[in-house]
Amino acid sequence: MHLEVPGAQGYAERAQELIARYGSQTFEHKHRAELKVLPTQSGWALDIGAGAGADAAWLAERGHKVVAVEPTSAFRQAAQTLHPHAGIDWVDDSLPSLYVIRARKQRFDLVMLTAVWMHLEHGEREVGMHTLASLLAPRGVIVMSLRHGPVPEGRRMFEVTDAETIQLASGVGFKCVLNVMTESSGTVNRAAGVTWNRLTFKWRREPCRAERVCLSPHSTR
């Protein structure tokens, strides 16, 4: 039986509109800040909150074996139609606990959380960080984006800082290797003044000393 996911509130009702918006942005543009820290060799990738599947498809096309987690059935079904790639395994699951994924007892070389973390309240973020620690391979990379700005009507979002996220990550043994502030790559969010922290974590139990850089949506850096 599918359980209602609080963080997914408001997405199913606007799925058609959002799927079109999400599909209009290339992976390279949306993740331009993180491209340099992504694994250079193919491996196992976990895309949490995979939406309409564009990122999962990009990773699969480059040889990764992708487990794409998406709790909203309208997105998951559309993604399977839009991106029928044999290298993508679609799973109905959600943070903070990811019970289905954790039951597989698998570790991932890349874990992506794009526009996901702000849907969790503080206690859920604490649990969620421990969940990520149970899933990341010894040489793995976590790529995460934090949203800042007005909350769309009908959505469940919380203001989450990079400082808190880095502290939680440090507590489970991660170090922050990238901390970049960007404007939104999408025109709707950019017009609304939405900005993002792009964070990347790897294993090491010591405090983070992250570079802070501002990128415009048109930057080539």
Answer whether residue 211 shows pLDDT above 60: no
Give the domain CATH number at 184. 3.40.50.150
pLDDT score at 28: 92
Tell whether the model's pLDDT for residue 134 goes beyond 90. Answer: yes
3-22 pLDDT, tens digit each: 567 656 646 656 566 666 66
Per-residue pLDDT band at 95 (split at 50, 70, 90): very high
Backbone angles phi, psi at 199, to 5 degrees: -115, 145
pLDDT at 21: 67
- How far apart are the C-alpha atoms of 189 and 25, rounded to whole Å? 13
**204: pLDDT confidence band, cut at 50, 70 and 90?**
confident
Backbone phi and psi for residue 57, each to the nearest 5 degrees, phi listed first: -65, -40
| 207 pLDDT above the threshold of 60 | no
Segment 165-191, tens digit of pLDDT: 999 999 999 999 999 999 877 777 777
Strand 136-148 with 195-203, pairing: antiparallel
Q: Share the mean pLDDT of the chain.
A: 86
Judge whether 60 lies within some domain: yes
Residue 221 confidence (pLDDT) above 60: no
- Is residue 163 scored above 80 in pLDDT? yes
pLDDT at 39: 94
Domain ranges, residue 150: 6-215
The average pLDDT across 24-50 equals 92
Q: CB–CB of 51/88 below 8 Å?
A: no
Residue 221 lies in a domain: no
Residue 23 has pLDDT above 70, yes or no: no
pLDDT in tens, 97-110: 999 999 999 999 99
- pTM of the full structure: 0.86
**CA-to-CA separations, 189 to 48, 148, 157, 193, 201, in angstroms, rounded:** 21, 10, 14, 6, 25
Asked, for residue 220, whether it belongs to a domain, the answer is no
Number of domains into which the chain is organized: 1
Sheet order of strands, 195-203 included: 88-91, 65-69, 44-48, 108-113, 136-148, 195-203, 174-183, 212-215
Per the document, the length of the chain is 221
For every residue of the chain, DSSP letters joined together read -PPP-GGGTTTGGGHHHHHHHHHTS-HHHHTTTTGGGS-SS--EEEEET-TTSHHHHHHHHTT-EEEEE---HHHHHHHHHH---TTEEEE---TTT-HHHHHT---EEEEEESS-GGGS-HHHHHHHHHHHHHHEEEEEEEEEEEEESPPPTT-------HHHHHHHHHHTTEEEEEEEEEE-SSHHHHHTT-EEEEEEEEE-SS-----EEEE-TT---
User: Would you say residue 1 lies in a domain?
Assistant: no
Answer whether residue 171 is part of any domain. Answer: yes
